Each structure stands twice: as structure tokens, then as C-alpha cells.
Structure 1
Amino acid sequence: MKVTLAIATFCVVLACSHAARTTTTTATKPGRFLSLPVPAKCASRPKEFSYRGKNMFLTTHVPALANKKVDWLDGRNLCREYCMDLVALETQEKNNLIFRVIQQNDVPYIWTAGRICDFAGCENRPDLEPKTVYGWFWSATREKIQATNRIPQGWGYNPWSQTGHKKRPQPDNAEYDINQTKEQCLSVLNNVYNDGIAWHDVACYHEKPVICEDNEELLRYVAATNPGIRL
């Protein structure tokens, strides 16, 4: 089931600087914007593995990025410079692939493109309430994530962890009770809570490695504005 989330393009595609901003002083960065693709990087982007024609790479496997950890928005920008974006886990088959990559490479955690729609453009939307259940979406594709409290249609299991800091099913916005920072972004954690590899909501300022995947919109844009480029 594919449902596109109709929200302000300004927030999701071009800016959304406040969307990754946290409420704590130490974690807050100045307003930031999504990066434009860099044609040379797009043409030479790492193509470590693929899913249904979309190339992907894990940053820890790229020498120049091997020791780099980034917050959620910087993760998007890192990927976007390569005509890619953070990986979106729309299907069980794709999710299983990413889980295998994490397991086989003993990766402790990664960012995904998942985010909760709690910014400008998400107000007065009954279809997104309660947001912890119905308000999540893949920022790279603007596709809604199915309800968090049940097995998604077409899946055989619920990818959200059944435990976390509060020992409650995810998402639980646990960090808000600690320092009033919302857990607005979706990370895959590797057995952090003795729960195997599973989805967790996490505050966006935490720094993690990422998996990037081809973004068709950015690839088309670079191809159209750079005649003859080989992507």
C-alpha cells in the first residue's frame, strides 16, 4: 500500500530547517537547508549494493566517510550531494535487505528517511492523528508510513521495536521526558535494547552512520541540467 503524504513542499523538499532542530540548547544548530546535488559526486557515487534498480551504500564502507557520523538532517544532505537520500524502508523485502546489511557488518545503528510530520503543513490533519501512530512518513519519497501499532499491510511482522528506554513499544518519544527533546526521526538500532534489529524513534540530533539510496528526482534534475553526464 502506497500513500503519498501531501504536505508543504517547502518543508520536506527544500528547507525544513526547523524540522531537524531540537529543543535543547546544546543540540540546536542554526537554521539549515537541504543540500543541492553535486553533479561530480552524483556521477561517481558509490554503488555498493542495490534494490530494484536503486543503488545504495553504507557510509562506513566508503573510506572518506568511514568514521563519519551525522545527525538526521546532515545525513540527508550527505546523501543528497550524491543524488541520493536516506534509505526508506517501504517494504518488508527492502527492510530485510537493510537489516541483513546491518547484521552482517555489525552496524550499531543507522538513520533512515523516516520522520514524524509535526511541523508546518501538518496541522489540522485528522488523518495524521494520533501522530505517534499515523504521523510518520518517508521524507525522501513523501510516502506515508503505515500505522505504527500494527503489522503493516503486506508485511509479516511489525518492524517497530516492542521495547525501548521506557520498556514500551516504539515509537515512545522517550527522550522528551529526559530533556524535552522530541524523538522526531526514525533510526534502525541493532539490539540496543536486547530487541534485535528494529525501528526506533530517536531525537534527530544524535549522530549515526547512514545508508544512502538513489533519489530519482535528484538524478533526473542533474541529468537535465548537465547534458551528457553519465550517472
Structure 2
Amino acid sequence: MWLLKTISVMLVITLTLLGVCVSNWKVTFNDAAPCALRGSSVVFGCSYVYPSDQTITNSFWYFSSQRKNNDLFLAQEYRGRVEYLGNKDNNCTLKINNLISSDTTQYHFRFETVNKGGETNAWSSKTWVSLSLTGLTTKVQPATVREGERVTLTCVTTCTPSDHPTIVWSRDGHSVSNTEFLASSEDSGRYRCAVQGQENLNSAPVSLDVKCE
């Protein structure tokens, strides 16, 4: 009986110590499933913690791949497009520019340390950032109307961009302020939606044909 109690106490102490150790090593992502527009940029907000007796010696982001070498800063397809905005303290924020379709994958962060006794350690994030990309699609409903009928413009994405950009509209290169209106003959034309400040990231044009009474 005494032996069982001793084993139980030792087990509780061991699990408690393990919990403390694990909690001292952690990577946290601000958004684990961000969405961004193709051609734009995305920022992965990230922070990490580790025991106070450790000093960071190396840190890097890597992506899910069958290849052995998947460090973002060494991969050819990411060359010139990634920026490490973090530091060797607690910030591991990353930015990827000029997003392309192949960027839709899972991203992990890893850091390596050494303690005062010269012992090295390494820790990889237990979760990851899963990036989704979207384009913009214009919908004009209905596409053919008579003067005086109501028209609705909608800009569609396959996921909601994490930075919640402002959508702007144009007709044949001219700014459009209303996304719902009663059609007149001058409303005929080709409509596009785009992201404010990044008007080059626009949708394919969709035509509206307004027929006279």
C-alpha cells in the first residue's frame, strides 16, 4: 500500500514538472488560418517564449513539404519575397510578399537555444499557420436590365481577407460609388472591383447592359 502511494506521488510530481517545462517553451500565432489576396502581402503575427536561462542561437520559418530543405529563406520559390519582422527575443513575425497560388500551404516556426552550461535545445511550433489565397470576382445582378430597374454589384472572394480591405469599384476605368442603384443608360459598361490602394489587384470585368425603355 505504501509503495502504491509513493508511486502515485512520484507520478503526480513528474507530470507537474513536465507541465511546467512544456509551458516554458511555446510558439503562438495571432491568426492560424489567414486569408489574403493573390499578388498582395500577408503578415503572420507570431511570438514565442522559452526558459530564462536560454539564449536564442537560431530561428527560422519552414513550410510543409516533402523536400528536406524547406526553410523559407533558402527555398528558391520564396527568394526575395519573405521578410523576417521578428527578432531573437520573443517576436517571430513573418511577411510574405507577392503571394502566388503555391504559397497556400502550412507554415511552422522553429528556434534553437543554448543554456549557460552550453547545452543546446530546439523547439518547433506544435501548431502551424495555414494560408489561404483568394482572387476577386465581380457579380452584376442582373446583367441585363431596363432603365429604372435595380442593379446590385457584389465583389466575391473564396475566403475573407484577414486585413479586411476596403473594396472599390470602377466602370470602364471610372470610379463607381454605389453598389446598388436604379439603372440608367449611362450605367452600361464593364465593371470591376478592386482593393483600395491596390487597384492592380482587380477582378475580371463584367458587363452591364442597360436597355432603353
TM-score (norm 1): 0.21
Structure showing greater radius of gyration is 2
